[in-house]
Amino acid sequence: MNTSSNFLSPINVNTDAKVKSKRRLDLPSPQSKPLSRKQRMQKAVAAREAELRPISFNEFQRHLHDVLASDMDIFDVCPQKAINAGKLEQFIVSLMKRLDEPTQALLDPVMSSWNGRNIPTSGRVMDILRFKRVQLLQGMETSFQDLCDWILLVVKLQEDVSLSLINHFAEQLGPNTQNAVCTILTSLQAGGFVDPIPLYVELRKLQPTLFTGNAYDGRYLTALVDDFIEKDASIEPVPIYQAIQTDLTPTIRGMLAEWLLQVSIYSVQSLRAETYFLGMTILDQYLALHQVSRSSFLLFGCAALYLACKFEELYLHNFLRFLVSQAAGSFTCEKVLQTEKIIATALDFHLCPNTLTHMTSALVAEQDPPASKEQMDLLRYIISSVTIHTYYGQYHPSQIAATCVFISRVMCDVSTGDPGPQVRRLIQSVMAGIAKNYVSSQVGEITFSLFAEKRFSEVSKLFCNPNSAAMKYLRSL
């Protein structure tokens, strides 16, 4: 073997010098030209304008996250690595001066609550970072990760924290988490104060699995929920029917959605819940862009579900043939694949949107006490009903998801306070969709019967008793 052609062998400098120089000559020369004075001025002006441009709440939150991420090391609580509180305060004030009008109106209640109160910097930062999440999930317990983040920030800012302030935060936790935290506080408190460094070390030892029954990393879960809420801001309500779909009606869409739900549950291998909801979301996004005739609507629905299977399912043996057989020979497997390509191309291959099941799973993961099988089955029934009777983009997914979780908690007698305005205004819409399942004969009856089976804990029957305490409470909101 020729050693000069073997990339693993050492290069002989004497014999390969010409080859190396020749390779260098083959490389394209860089086309970098110095900027003219006018271009430099334009670039400087653009940078200055970007610094002075009004920022939204999401940008405010992101800037704050970025400056803390550079200094917040969860594995290093040494006093030598403290954050300069004065500089952080100045940074927050500079950002607040740049807030746009909607953000100023949004944060005005928070800033007003700071007036006349000795709120430490760590408390103000946490109020901002979790503001939208707290608003959305009002009435539910505070995340254990929020407590850990706050104590870590207290350590980094070298603040003194009183026992009463920590107890006030701990009272907002779930019962299991609250008991564990109170046990730690009892062992560490001295003279009405708690040393935050050993407190944070002890909090890190607590695993969320002990409280919620789910194994997850709280740092990523809270960030995930914040990301869901942020993406909701970019979803504009789209009137699909009459404006775009002239041949389709909500009833026809509901019939197809219910049929696809049946297929996904009774298929040769039962599909994951995420697959069905992703398929319906993909279908709704396509319907918001292109007209579909009534005769080809079933084909597009099957293609959207099969497209979702490729993202969510690990094993798809014979599912396409099963799907075509359930359509009674209305089309062929090749036609489904062609339609699948049409949908993916029309959506520019943006095929991983937020779905109701993704958001509800994230919210339930932190629930304390942990969700029972009955609550999980009930939650699936509620979001299935919402998916059948409403389309993607009609409401913000995070708000609908929080409403579904709230209703499931009330119906399963999980300790829950009064909801916030975002959830309160959607409760009756969701309850109306659920009511259609046992009132309407066209859409919803099959879903009601399906979730009345024992394998789904007969959860659909829970809404048949209008005189129950839970139903009366939900109607009163």
Question: Which of 155, 145, 150 lies closest to 83, judged by CA?
Answer: 155
**Residue 215 one-letter amino acid:** A
Taking a C-beta distance cutoff of 8 angstroms, is the pair 375, 408 a contact? Answer: yes
Average pLDDT over residues 213-226: 73
* CA R_g for the chain: 28
Cα 36 from Cα 42, distance rounded (Å)? 10
Taking a C-beta distance cutoff of 8 angstroms, is the pair 260, 267 a contact? Answer: no
pLDDT digits (tens, 9 = 90+) for 342-386: 999 999 998 888 889 989 998 998 888 889 999 999 999 999 999
Average pLDDT over residues 443-465: 92
Average pLDDT over residues 186-213: 78
Residue 237 pLDDT:
67
Cα 99 from Cα 128, distance rounded (Å)? 13
The CATH classification number of 250-347 equals: 1.10.472.10
Is residue 31 very low, low, confident or very high in pLDDT (cuts 50, 70, 90)? low
Average pLDDT over residues 267-278: 86
Residue 43 pLDDT:
77
User: Does pLDDT of 14 surpass 50?
Assistant: no
The CATH classification number of 356-476 equals: 1.10.472.10
User: Does pLDDT of 235 surpass 80?
Assistant: no
Taking a C-beta distance cutoff of 8 angstroms, is the pair 185, 166 a contact? Answer: yes
Average pLDDT over residues 430-459: 89
Taking a C-beta distance cutoff of 8 angstroms, is the pair 109, 128 a contact? Answer: no
Average pLDDT over residues 194-219: 74
Residue 255 pLDDT:
94
Question: Which of 173, 174, 135, 134 lies closest to 151, judged by CA?
Answer: 173
User: Does pLDDT of 156 surpass 60?
Assistant: yes
pLDDT digits (tens, 9 = 90+) for 54-108: 888 888 888 887 777 665 544 444 444 556 778 888 888 888 888 888 888 888 8
The pTM (predicted TM-score) of the whole model is 0.83
Average pLDDT over residues 184-190: 85
Q: How far is CA 304 from CA 337, 441, 444, in A?
A: 10, 26, 21
250-347 against 356-476: fold identical? yes
Phi, psi (rounded to 5 degrees) for 190: -150, 115
Q: How far is CA 45 from CA 32, 36, 42, 192, in A?
A: 22, 14, 5, 53
Provide, rounded to the nearest whole percent, the portion of the chain with pLDDT above 90: 34
User: Does pLDDT of 115 surpass 90?
Assistant: no
Residue 209 pLDDT:
57
Is residue 10 very low, low, confident or very high in pLDDT (cuts 50, 70, 90)? very low
Cα 64 from Cα 76, distance rounded (Å)? 20
Residue 91 pLDDT:
84
Within 235-372, residue ranges assigned H as helices are 250-266, 273-287, 297-312, 319-326, 333-346, 356-365
pLDDT digits (tens, 9 = 90+) for 279-312: 999 999 999 899 999 999 999 999 999 999 999 9
Cα 142 from Cα 16, distance rounded (Å)? 67
pLDDT digits (tens, 9 = 90+) for 128-138: 888 889 999 99
Please state the domain extents for the chain. Answer: 53-206, 250-347, 356-476
Q: Supply the mean pLDDT for the chain.
A: 83
Cα 466 from Cα 427, distance rounded (Å)? 15
Residue 344 pLDDT:
95
Report the range out of 11-15, 153-157, 240-244, 432-436 with the highest average pLDDT: 432-436
Taking a C-beta distance cutoff of 8 angstroms, is the pair 85, 158 a contact? Answer: yes
DSSP line for 205-235: H--THHHHS----HHHHHHHHHHHHHHHTT-
User: Residues 278, 281, 282, CA angle at the centre, nearest 5°?
Assistant: 85
Cα 122 from Cα 148, distance rounded (Å)? 12
User: Does pLDDT of 47 surpass 80?
Assistant: no
Taking a C-beta distance cutoff of 8 angstroms, is the pair 306, 323 a contact? Answer: yes
Take residue 411 and report the two structure tokens written for it.
């119906």
Residue 207 pLDDT:
67
Taking a C-beta distance cutoff of 8 angstroms, is the pair 392, 262 a contact? Answer: no
Take residue 10 and report the two structure tokens written for it.
């050492």
Residue 214 pLDDT:
61
Taking a C-beta distance cutoff of 8 angstroms, is the pair 241, 429 a contact? Answer: no
Is residue 6 very low, low, confident or very high in pLDDT (cuts 50, 70, 90)? very low
Residue 213 pLDDT:
56
% helix, strand, coil for the chain, step of 5: 65, 0, 35
Take residue 18 and report the two structure tokens written for it.
């010409």
